[in-house]
């Protein structure tokens, strides 16, 4: 389950921000996850709860914002919505479609005290 290592990475980002910005507690963590990123929201929520026990982020609410997939069709040269990697272009049915968005995962915002 790679969500555990992703949750650990989120905690490391939080801890580094706390060192730099001198906050003591995290209330909310907003994370953007692309629909094409192969990350299960429920699994990362469970893992986040597990890895934050005993830390400044214990009990913090993990808010997940889903980012839609987008791609560039090499056939018709349009930027199109993309439901899954390797799907054909929804505009022309052609291949390949290069993913240009929705593959990322990032910590967008922290609510702290």
Tell me: the pLDDT tens digits for 26-57?
999 999 999 999 999 999 999 999 999 999 99
Instruction: Delineate the domains of the chain, giving CATH numbers in brackets.
Output: 2-112 (3.30.2320.80)
Task: Report pLDDT for 1.
Answer: 59
Task: Report pLDDT for 49.
Answer: 97
Q: CA-CA distance, 3 to 81, in Å (whole number)?
A: 25
Q: Give me the residues of the chain with pLDDT under 70, please.
A: 1
Which residues, at least 6 apart from 92, have a Cβ–Cβ distance to it below 8 Å?
73, 75, 76, 78
Q: What is the DSSP string of 34-72?
A: ETTS---HHHHHHHHHHHTTTSTTTT-EEEEEEE--EEE
Torsions phi, psi for 100 (to 5 deg): -120, -5
> How is residue 87 annotated by DSSP?
P
Residue 57: Cβ within 10 Å count? 24
pTM: 0.87
């Amino acid at each position: 389950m790679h969500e555990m290592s992703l949750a650990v990475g989120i905690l490391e980002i939080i801890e580094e921000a706390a060192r730099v910005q001198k906050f003591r507690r995290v209330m909310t963590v907003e994370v953007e996850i692309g629909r094409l990123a192969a990350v299960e929201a429920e699994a990362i929520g469970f893992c986040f709860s597990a890895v934050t026990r005993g830390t400044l982020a214990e009990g913090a609410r993990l808010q997940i914002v889903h980012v839609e997939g987008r791609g560039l069709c090499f056939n018709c040269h349009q930027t199109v919505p993309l439901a899954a990697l390797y799907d054909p272009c929804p505009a022309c049915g052609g291949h390949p479609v290069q993913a240009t968005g929705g593959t990322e995962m990032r910590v967008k915002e922290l609510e702290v005290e």
